[in-house]
Structure 1
Amino acid sequence: MLRGDYEKGIEQLRRAYLLFPYNETLKHNLAEGYAAFGHQFFKQKKYDKADDNFVKAMELYPEEAIYALLRGICTYHLKKYDVARHELERAHQKQSETVEILYYLGLVYYETNNRQQAVELWEQGLKLSPSRVEFEELLKKARKEMAVEAGMDRGHSSRFDLTYDSGVNAAFALAVLDVLENAANQVGAELGFFPVNRVPVAIYTRADFKIVTDSPEWSGGVYDGTIRLPFGATAEVTPQMRAVLFHEYAHVVIFEMTRGNCPIWLNEGVAEMFGRKEHNRPMGEFRQAIKKKSYMDFRKMESGFSGLTTPDASLAYQQSYAMVNYMVTNYGWHRVNGILSSLGNGMNIDEAVLQSFQDYSITYDTLILEWQKEMEKSFVQAPILVEGD
């Protein structure tokens, strides 16, 4: 195991333990072997395999808090919140002042709409570890949301829990839920994935949306575990709004498929594919970029768009959409789904593209070059080069 051959080491320890089941050293080493193997899978974001190994360690030492903590963290990332809460609460009973337990149990409470309990744990964690800036950031975020949402109304549908500003018409709120249900069916069918957990949605006034999300002025919505929408002053669901709802719901599915391991351009490009089916906007900035060959760098677009000016943000979204549209049109949705699934298994974008396009021997870089040539060819041949212009 020290050489990294965990499977072989664990098998030898397991056989020895079966021969000498009362040997405490063998039992301890086997449990630690499972935990170490699980940690390797965890680092690769292969959470299912990590969880299998943490369970095996727990079977040997059911009362050991560290194994409950490891499994709790792992199942939190798997969005198995009931299991995560059970394991982390068990660990908390045994080690109430362990900072990692306070951090992750707080996250589970937060994600399951128990914000006050989350805040109490994070406050305790901050006292124990004042240098952990994560606690300060989470507390700031949770307190802002609690202050804004204290007087909001609530509703729900089969897949969504809705919180909305008290000034929002109830019929409008129900119409938003109806569109989201349609989005869940269509996006889920295309990507072959349906989230297990209910999805929280919040509708704010534009001012409250800015307070809660601190997003740029051009933002039409945010998904950060909750779909957040600045629709508080709107009375009817317009095509533009349907596009935002489909776009934001697509982020829910992408996040779960990739376990959060998705380049931003791919995330936004896939979301735009669904949003533009509802309302297809002009592609003026992208058209100019092709004309001048002034594309944005996909490598730089992997990390985020939030610092961009409005024109640059428009180009980033349009270029991301154009790339995903190119992949789907020329190679099919299953290639994109393959990339997303590989990312969810811990691959980076280079590995995921190579895996999905292995029968074409296409790499991430050659895919970008191929796309650029096709875009420029389309620009020369026709005034309308991509859908939406």
Structure 2
Amino acid sequence: MEFEMKANTSDRRLTIDYGVFLVVVVSSLLFMVYCPSLCATEESFAGKREKTQYERRLDMLAQRYSRAPAGTVDFPKELMAIDYINEGYSLFQKSEYDLALKAAEEALKCDIKSPVAHELSGDIYYLKQNLVKANEHYREAFKLEPVSRLKDKLEKLTRETEVEKSFDTVEEEHFLIKYSGNQNEYEGFELKTMLRDTYREIAKELAHYLNHKTTVLFYDADKFHAAGNLAHWIGGLYDGKVRLPVHPRGFGEKQLRAVARHELTHVFLDDLGKKKTPIWLHEGFAVYQQNKIEPLPAASLRVLKDESNLIPLHSLFNPTVFESHKNDEQWMGLFYMQSYDVVDYIIGRYGVFYLKQMAIKFSEEKNAEQVISETLKISIEKLEKEWKASLASAFL
């Protein structure tokens, strides 16, 4: 998520020696005849690929339950389903969506009336942009357990389905891109190139690459806020998918690239932290990345000049405090700028590597005090004191 901030404001010819070509072809044929074991097909190499630790864990579950038929005293099907659901949620948090779906499917084989397994399946299909299958599973889960959480997911899905039904689709190595055909100034190729370049830059900086495709949706400006029922000041959103508005008034290509970089940064932090990276780190680093494309106006940072206005770091790092203020536009503006400046200070003093390590530490379900102490070898109080000193010198 990010605030929409206004700035004050880059014939080759092929010649073949047929004699050499003939020798190469004949040699290759002889090699395949006499060395068939070395000429494995791509499929056979894939078959010999070493399984990941997550695949092996699923195999272990299957082996455990293959000893006796489901539903026996030793292997009651409901408990088998719970095991697969737990494994599925663990894989989901690690962004192993295909394996998570496989676990959910196994859970449903054991217990077709499990609302949790249906909801998990719905969540995965939703992120994979299979809205029809997501709808099926959410509805089945809601029939089995009519709770408000599932009702909200169904309502959100209904809004999005209506808005996105006419979207064009472009696939890329790292993205599934959906965009409105009304966006005449942008073709799918241009959007794909912009996202690919942004992905490569962030991946290189973090030395981290994603193992899944991310769905990115480009909305017409007038439909962006309606599709997600979003506050007017939100200029982009990451909620498991990246959502970006195209061509609001005064919003050009540079701004689109800046917002795209902001939201894609969330995808990387979500992956590094296994969906446990705190909001201040998410937003601070996302604004830091956005700032590389479209520098923040000096006026937006002046809110940090008066120390009495600052959010204490213990509160900044507390997710409960954020939840209680997230509808306060003025407080959110301060939260974004302060998170950015704290992250900028940490990177300036320690480097991006340590910021990456912090996200990884958060994946271990440690709190901010533990993560900062273990990673930066400093207390929150000491960090706050040093950061404020850097602020004071910056405003001299």
Please give the range of the TM-score, normalised by the shorter of the 2 chains. 0.7 to 0.9
Q: How many residues align?
A: 328
Moved more, 233-242 or 285-294: 233-242
Instruction: Give the alignment's Cα RMSD to 1 decimal.
Output: 2.5
Separation (CA, whole Å) in 2 of partners of 1:166 and 1:301: 41
Rounded to whole Å, the distance in 1 between the matches of 2:204 and 2:300 is 31
Residue deviations 1:283-317, cap 9 Å, x none?
A: 324324323531123444443474132x4433322
Identify the residue that residue 79 of structure 1 maps to in structure 2: 95
2:182 matched to which residue of 1?
167
* 1:99-139 CA distance string (max 9 Å, x none): 11111111122222222122122212212212x22211111
Which residue is 2:105 aligned to?
89
Match of 1:60 in 2: 64
CA distance in 2 between partners of 1:301 and 1:211 (Å): 30
- Kept after mapping to 1: 8 A contact 2:54/2:91: no
Structure 2 partner of 1:283: 298
Change beyond 3 A, Cα 1:112–1:369: same
Residues of 1 paired with 2:333 and 2:390: CA distance?
Answer: 21
CA 1:143–1:294 in structure 2 vs 1: closer, same or farther (change >3 Å)? same
Task: Give CA deviations for 1:222-279 in whole Å, capped at 9, x if unaligned.
Answer: 0011110111558995222211111111010011111221221211111111111111
Match status 1:189 vs 2:204: yes
The normalised TM-score by structure 1 is 0.77
> Structure 1: how far apart are the matches of 2:182 and 2:289?
29
Match of 2:253 in 1: 238
* Conserved? CA contact 2:236–2:245, under 8 Å: yes
- Please tell me whether residue 178 in structure 1 is matched to residue 193 in structure 2: yes
Kindly provide the amino acid, as one letter, of the partner of residue 376 in structure 1.
Answer: A
Tell me which amino acid in the other structure corresponds to 1:217.
Answer: H
Identify unmatched segments of 5+ residues in structure 2: 1-51, 71-79
Q: What amino acid sits opposite 1:329 in the alignment?
A: G
Residue in 2 aligned with 1:138? 153
- What residue is the counterpart of 1:329 in the other structure? 348
Q: How does 1:1-389 map to 2 (within 5 A)?
A: 56-62=60-66, 64-130=80-146, 132-169=147-184, 171-232=186-247, 238-302=253-317, 303=319, 304=322, 306-309=326-329, 311-358=330-377, 362-380=378-396
1:321 deviation in Å? 1.3
Q: Distance in 2 between matches of 1:91 and 1:187?
A: 36
User: Partners of 1:173 and 1:221 in 2: how far apart?
Assistant: 19
**Do the aligned residues in 2 keep the contact of 1:50 with 1:74 (CA within 8 Å)?**
no
Q: Which structure has the higher relative contact order (CA within 8 Å, separation 6+)? A: 2
Q: Does the C-alpha gap of structure 1 residues 313 and 356 become closer, same or farther in structure 2, counting only changes over 3 Å?
A: same
Give a deviation string over 1:323-370, Cα, whole Å, max 9, x none.
111111111112211111101222222111111112xxx112321221
How far the C-alpha of 1:50 sits from its partner, in A, is 9.2
C-alpha distance in 2 between matches for 1:288 and 1:112: 40
- What is the SS of the residue equivalent to 1:197? coil
Is the 8 Å Cα contact of residues 198 and 261 (structure 2) preserved in structure 1? yes
Offset, 1:281: 1.7
Provide the rounded CA distance (Å) in 1 between the counterparts of 2:54 and 2:217.
Answer: 33
In the superposition, the TM-score normalised over structure 2's length comes to 0.76
Q: Could you tell me how far apart the structure 2 residues matched to 1:367 and 1:54 are?
A: 42
Identity of aligned residues (%): 23
The structure-2 alpha-carbon separation of the partners of 1:53 and 1:347, relative to structure 1 and needing over 3 Å to count, comes to farther
* Cα separation, 2, equivalents of 1:327 and 1:343: 16
Shift of 1:76: 2.0
What is residue 35 of structure 1 aligned with on the other side? Answer: none
Amino acid at match of 1:326: Y
Q: Which residue of 2 aligns with 1:3?
A: none
User: Greater CA deviation, 197-206 or 76-85?
Assistant: 76-85
The answer on whether the counterparts of 2:220 and 2:245 sit within 8 Å (CA) in structure 1 is yes
